[in-house]
Structure 1
Amino acid sequence: MATPGRVHPLENPPSFTFPKAEQKSDSASDDQDQDTSPFLSGQLSASPVPNETYIIQIPKEQILRQPPPEHAHRAKVYARRPLRRRAVRRCCCSLIASLICLLIAVGAAAGIFYLIIRPKAPSYSLSSVNMIGLDPVLTSASTPLSPNVEATIEANNKNKHLSILYQSGGTVDLYFEDTKLCSGDWPKFRQGPKNNTELQMQMTGSGILMTANTRDSLVNDQKNQSVPLVMHAKVPVKIKYGPVTTWKITAKVKCNIVVDGIAGEMTVLKDCSAKSNYLW
């Protein structure tokens, strides 16, 4: 008995015989035989009779069989992947749409609030300045300076419905050109709507050195009784409207003034033209 899956040659291969063409008496049949005989002879000569014949036996269970269970599991996994991707895409699209709607709502509320309240930035002015400690610069540029400045600043809140809450940590610096002369602290207080408040500033400096060019400019301005000074302030503030209070905002104030000297009580020749940056 032959083993499944193997090839065995036959002991006695079958012989092949070809029938001979019948002889026909009429001339038409002779012509037909003459026409076809070369074709047949060429065909038979091109395919010789095989010497051996092989029989291949394949078990039936190898031809028709059920796929293994892991194939079905893989098919289920591959079918689930598109569903998961769709769910993730839907979730991302929903989240993006929600964020866009939230931003639109916040922007619309801020626009309506701005149109109703009409917020205005407060204004600042420097009413008086008293300075000591800059006299040595008139004789020598190499002498360290320790200036002391007392200034009165007026803060005016022009808003009808907004209060300004000045927080602790604010600073004030006084400059001549690029040289910082002294610095101080901005006081913490609350300024109500339509309120004008005077602030007393104490600014001090120590070990201040000037270059030769800066010293020459200061001496010339002192002779002309027109000394330009710049005050920089950084103040953390909060804006309050009714029960609503904003987060902390760092307001920056720049004030340009001109005084008639650098010693004693100085007269402000040019009032403070302050520039402040708030939310509006």
Structure 2
Amino acid sequence: MATPGRVYPLENPPSFTFPRAEQKPDSASDDQDQDTSPFLSGQLSASPVPNETYIIQIPKEQVLRQPPPEHAHRAKVYARRPLRRRAMRRCCCSLIASLICLLIAVGAAAGIFYLIIRPKAPSYSLSSVNMTGLDPVLTSASTPLSPNVKATIEANNTNKHLSILYQSGGTVDIYFEDTKLCNGDWPKFRQGPKNNTELQVQMTGSGILMTASTRDSLVNYQKNQSVPLIIHAKVPVKIKYGPVTTWKITAKVKCNIVVDGITGEMTVLKKDCSAKSNYLW
């Protein structure tokens, strides 16, 4: 394969010879004899010039070419790309570093706040329960029930410097085994430090049906005057310390109680309540 930029000899180079001198008439032979120039003598034409071929090679590096004008524009565009990429990388790195510093600062502040304040979970207790609407279950398991429960719950804030702000949207449910009997709303109020507050919670249910096994279990507990009930509450709260108020946090309260019956004013024989939160306690 031929390399561009070089000159190669032809395979069948053409032959070239100098033309012979023309013969003049006899009348001019004397003038020719007097002319001693070798280029005009017949001897030169008698010996032809050797048949040779000359090859001229120019190095490829010395062949100068001028690129098209559009190449210069492309070169400028390509030269600007690394600068843009470096600028964007610096911007992204600065943004990520700022976010990391902000998260570290927020985490450090929250840790210091927690260590200084040391928030404690409030304690809860059930002081009284009044229930109606469960009498039909004693005679038939297929009868729909409409329970109505009034409960008095004591909430005790044992923190010295923290106030608990109970928000709207809290719910309270009461269960017998796996059957949900009724539900109600947790009241909205503010509880100051070292404060004990009694709450009146109203819970109602409608169209509640029990299976035969659940009904038999409830009847047996009623005969023994020892009926176990479970109370679940989900309460959104905010914690306030001086001018600082936290975001909304869901506190979960669970009470396992035992009462002496299912009709009228019931005596609470046993009670065990606990509260937990995913962020504070």
TM-score range for the pair, normalised by the shorter chain length: 0.7 to 0.9
Q: Give the superposition deviation at 1:156.
A: 0.6
Aligned to 1:175: 175
* 1:59-79 deviation digits (Å, cap 9, x = unpaired): 999964422221111111111
CA distance in 2, matches of 1:44, 1:216: 145
- Cα contact 2:150–2:201 (8 A) shared by 1: yes
* 1:19-67 deviation digits (Å, cap 9, x = unpaired): 9999999999999999999999999999999999899999999964422
CA distance in 2, matches of 1:167, 1:193: 17
CA distance in 1, matches of 2:169, 2:46: 108
CA distance in 1, matches of 2:180, 2:205: 8
Structure 2 unmatched ranges of 5 or more: none
Of residues 35-44 and 217-226 in structure 1, the stretch that sits farther from structure 2 once superposed is 35-44
Q: Give the superposition deviation at 1:160.
A: 0.9
Q: 1:258 to 1:55 in 2, by over 3 A?
A: same
Q: 1:29 to 1:143 in 2, by over 3 A?
A: farther
TM-score normalised according to structure 2 size: 0.77
Q: 1:203 to 1:60 in 2, by over 3 A?
A: closer
Q: Give the superposition deviation at 1:103.
A: 1.1
- Cα contact 2:251–2:276 (8 A) shared by 1: no
Q: Give the superposition deviation at 1:178.
A: 0.9
Q: Give the superposition deviation at 1:161.
A: 1.0
- Cα contact 1:8–1:54 (8 A) shared by 2: no
Stretches (4+) displaced over 6 A: 1-13, 16-62
CA distance in 1, matches of 2:28, 2:207: 138
Q: Give the superposition deviation at 1:193.
A: 0.6
Q: Give the superposition deviation at 1:272.
A: 3.5
Q: 1:187 to 1:7 in 2, by over 3 A?
A: closer
- Cα contact 1:123–1:156 (8 A) shared by 2: yes
> How large is the RMSD of aligned CA atoms in angstroms?
12.1
CA distance in 1, matches of 2:34, 2:60: 50
Of residues 40-49 and 201-210 in structure 1, the stretch that sits farther from structure 2 once superposed is 40-49
Structure 1 unmatched ranges of 5 or more: none
Structure with bigger gyration radius = 2
* 1:110-146 deviation digits (Å, cap 9, x = unpaired): 1111111011111111010011111111111001111
TM-score normalised according to structure 1 size: 0.77
CA distance in 2, matches of 1:171, 1:181: 14
- Cα contact 2:18–2:49 (8 A) shared by 1: no
CA distance in 1, matches of 2:238, 2:8: 100
- Cα contact 1:163–1:193 (8 A) shared by 2: yes
CA distance in 1, matches of 2:262, 2:35: 135
CA distance in 1, matches of 2:230, 2:40: 119
- Cα contact 2:119–2:280 (8 A) shared by 1: no
Q: Give the superposition deviation at 1:14.
A: 5.8
- Percent identical: 94
